[in-house]
Amino acid sequence: MLKGIPKVLTPEMLKILCEMGHDDEIVIADAHFPAEAMGKRVIQYPCISAPEMVEAIVKVMPLDTYVKAPIMVMSLVQSDIDKGMPIPTMWEEVRARSSEIEGFEVQLGEYERFEFYEHAKKAYAIIQTGEERQYGNFMLRKGVVLN
Predicted pLDDT of residue 123: 98
pTM of this prediction exceeds 0.75: yes
On average, the pLDDT of the chain sits at 96
Diameter of the chain measured on Cα atoms: 49
Phi, then psi, of 110 in degrees rounded to 5: -125, 140
Superfamily of domain 22-141: RbsD-like domain (3.40.1650.10)
CA 133 from centroid of its chain's CA atoms: 14
Q: Which residue type is seen at 72?
A: M
> 133 with 88: CB under 8 angstroms?
yes
* Alpha-carbon gap, residue 118 to 97, rounded angstroms: 27
- Which of 22, 23, 66, 80 is flagged as catalytic? 22
Show me where the domains of the chain are located.
22-141
Catalytic annotation present for 117: yes
Distances (CA, A) of 115 to 35, 61, 67, 109, 119: 15, 24, 18, 12, 6
26: pLDDT strictly greater than 90:
yes
85: pLDDT strictly greater than 80:
yes
DSSP-derived 3-state class of residue 1: coil
Catalytic annotation present for 30: no
- Which of 24, 30, 45, 64 is flagged as catalytic? 64
* Alpha-carbon gap, residue 147 to 143, rounded angstroms: 13
Percent of the chain predicted with pLDDT > 70: 100
Catalytic annotation present for 82: no
